[in-house]
Structure 1
Amino acid sequence: MAEHTSGLLQKKFYENCPGCKMDRLKEEQSGVPYKNLSYIWLVSLCTALPISSLFPFVYFMIRDFHIAKREEDIGFYAGFVGSSFMLRRALTSFLWGVVADRYGRKPVIFIGTLSVVVLNALFGLSTSFWMALSMRFLLGCFNSLLGTIRAYASEVCREEYQALALSVVSTSRGIGLIIGPAIGGFFAQPAERYPTVISESSVFGRFPYFLPCLIILFMLWEFLLLVGGFLRQCTSMM
């Protein structure tokens, strides 16, 4: 009887099954999975940077677009640019969750991060209000990764460390929301603030809000290499 019971309780892993592979890796873990937690921390941090990096300079960006007829109207247009990201994110988060359940977490994280690299750079190169609004709108469409990251965090860690993994996600996103505005505020309009280093005729002089987006681009590009090389594939229903 004991032999039959042990046979029923024994876990069985199947080949070519991403979920079984992750379960096997979790069974082999011992202690706090610092390596996995560090990857999760970087994922969440990097994808949080573009969310708030524009807030220190969005007022001046709208002013330079000359779309507001009065100075009092600048905040009105800035509100559209600032909120478009979260609006589109609210509309697409569920869809990306379905895609992540079907095709796996890693492809969704990779696509979302790659889109941030491209779209956030184009946002920094915006020459009109509508271009800036469109880039932020598309950025929110492809950067709906919070649910996917949380699911990934809970799947790569053993059950006793899942709460720790989810707290790492929240902490790193909070840090990203702090670092993002710091980058935006410090590096925006570099030709005006650092004329001895950057000239008005340079790229950063003609596009005064591109430098903070470029810095975030480099950070995200490094993370893309991490996604491709180290993040493990999780559940796929295919």
Structure 2
Amino acid sequence: MAGEGEAARPLLEEKPDVYFDGCPGCAMDRRKAENPGIPYGLFFHMWIINLVTCLPVSSLFPFLYFMIRDLGIAKRVEDIGFYAGFVGASYMLGRALTSIFWGILADRIGRKPIIVITTFSRFPYVLLCLFISIICFIVLISYIWLPETLHTHKVHKKKDDQCRESLITYLSDSKEFDKQCSTSTKNKGLLTNWPLMSSIVLYCITCFDDMAYSEIFSLWAESDKKYGGLSFSSEDVGNVLVVTGASILLYQTFIYPHIVKVLGLINSSRVATILSMVLLFTYPPMANLSRPWLSIVVNIASMLKSCSIATIVTCSFILQNNSVPQDQRATANGIATMLMSLFKAFAPAGAGIVFSWAQKHQHASIFPGDQMVFFLLDIVVLFELIWTFKPFLDIPKQSSSS
């Protein structure tokens, strides 16, 4: 089945015939060849690193509404969303300005030094942010045991010529030789690599949806019911996010791999997108529910929505890495992160402005208040769905073939 071929086929990489002593990339390739099983230890290490990366910005959302209100930044309750949007945008704007630089540098000097350098940061608040800083420091120490994947050796020209001549002799009359030459040419220019760029666009649209939803959900849940919100406290929102985070962990670990094996990367993304669109239409009526049904329904909807986003993001990650060779992945991911950060910088600012407008138009005749907010989110998700079809999304040959 094509879906199984998509999930089972490894990322595009060239396996070296010779392992060079002192090259961390060769050491990693040798370790993978000698231990073909799943490296759960490395996976856990990378999970901790991703957790530390997300904590600084994600931890702000539960109390951002109350922080802007208590500090007196907004003069009216209806204006809180406007200012909250710009706070969320500032972090992603900084990431957008530096992502390509760090990606190119990682392809030159290695992955580990860049990870260590970019871990250092400064947090503006004391209790929660001090705890996050401690976690960052612990993870920083753990980088000592993180293996490098960049190949640092230089192949001798004479040996390289011999290998090339052998390959030409063996494949000169075959279609595989033309295919390899074509693939090599495509890999040289990242910006002209449409399978890469189209998967990055899908990734960016999904991240825009994710960031806008995260911004709006916290503001909407914490706003008063007379403004169409849920009148949740910061603790209530935090509890919902904890349950949602735990569900994503379980989903990504045990359920997502089986879904991709059955449906494939593209169909999994389409199903997740459709589910996300349906869920967004159910959010405005939730304000009419009372506890405990309100908390139950909000938790279920938040879990399904977040798992849908996680599905699309993970599938686009796989498509991106299948589109480039190993020595270009850091630069490719730098481009993806820069574009994604630009989208994420505009998302909270735009979401905050729309939310602030919606608070002042609760009695409009068409799409009053919060209904307009979630309707616009649905429009973004519709663009995600459209982009999963041709000619917009170009699937790498490694992923499309079974």
Residue 180 in 1 paired to residue 337 in 2?
no
Partner of residue 266, structure 2: 106
**Structure 2 counterparts to residues 57-206 of structure 1, below 5 A:** 58-62=218-222, 63-64=224-225, 74-94=233-253, 95-100=255-260, 103-127=263-287, 128=289, 129-130=294-295, 131-145=297-311, 146-188=313-355, 190-193=357-360, 195=361, 200-205=363-368
Residue 32 in 1 paired to residue 192 in 2?
no
1:44-95 per-position Cα deviation (integer Å, ceiling 9, x unaligned): 1222234332435634534328876xxxx71121223344443322221233
State the one-letter code of the partner of 1:169: A
**Identical residues among aligned pairs (%):** 12
Distance 1:115 1:24 in 2: 41
TM-score between both structures, scaled by the size of structure 1: 0.71
Shift in Å, 1:155 = 0.6
- Give aligned pairs, total: 219
Given that residues 40 and 149 in structure 1 are in contact (C-alpha distance below 8 angstroms), is that contact kept between their aligned partners in structure 2? yes
Distance 2:316 2:229 in 1: 39
Given that residues 61 and 209 in structure 1 are in contact (C-alpha distance below 8 angstroms), is that contact kept between their aligned partners in structure 2? no
Residue 48 in 1 paired to residue 212 in 2?
no
Secondary structure (helix, strand or coil) at the match of 1:231 reads: coil
Structure 1 unmatched runs, 5+: 14-20
Distance 1:158 1:175 in 2: 25
Shift in Å, 1:138 = 0.8
Q: CA RMSD, aligned part only?
A: 3.6
Distance 1:144 1:10 in 2: 44
Structure 2 unmatched runs, 5+: 1-164
Shift in Å, 1:140 = 1.8
Distance 1:187 1:228 in 2: 29
Shift in Å, 1:108 = 2.1
- Against the structure 1 CA distance between its residues 237 and 31, is the aligned structure 2 distance closer, same or farther, given a 3 Å change threshold? closer
- Against the structure 1 CA distance between its residues 39 and 50, is the aligned structure 2 distance closer, same or farther, given a 3 Å change threshold? same
Shift in Å, 1:139 = 0.9
TM-score between both structures, scaled by the size of structure 2: 0.45
Distance 1:50 1:3 in 2: 50
Partner of residue 231, structure 1: 393
Distance 2:333 2:276 in 1: 23
Residue 7 in 1 paired to residue 170 in 2?
yes
Q: Which one has a bigger Cα radius of gyration?
A: 2
1:81-124 per-position Cα deviation (integer Å, ceiling 9, x unaligned): 34444332222123324543564322222222332222234334
Partner of residue 17, structure 1: none
Secondary structure (helix, strand or coil) at the match of 1:126 reads: helix
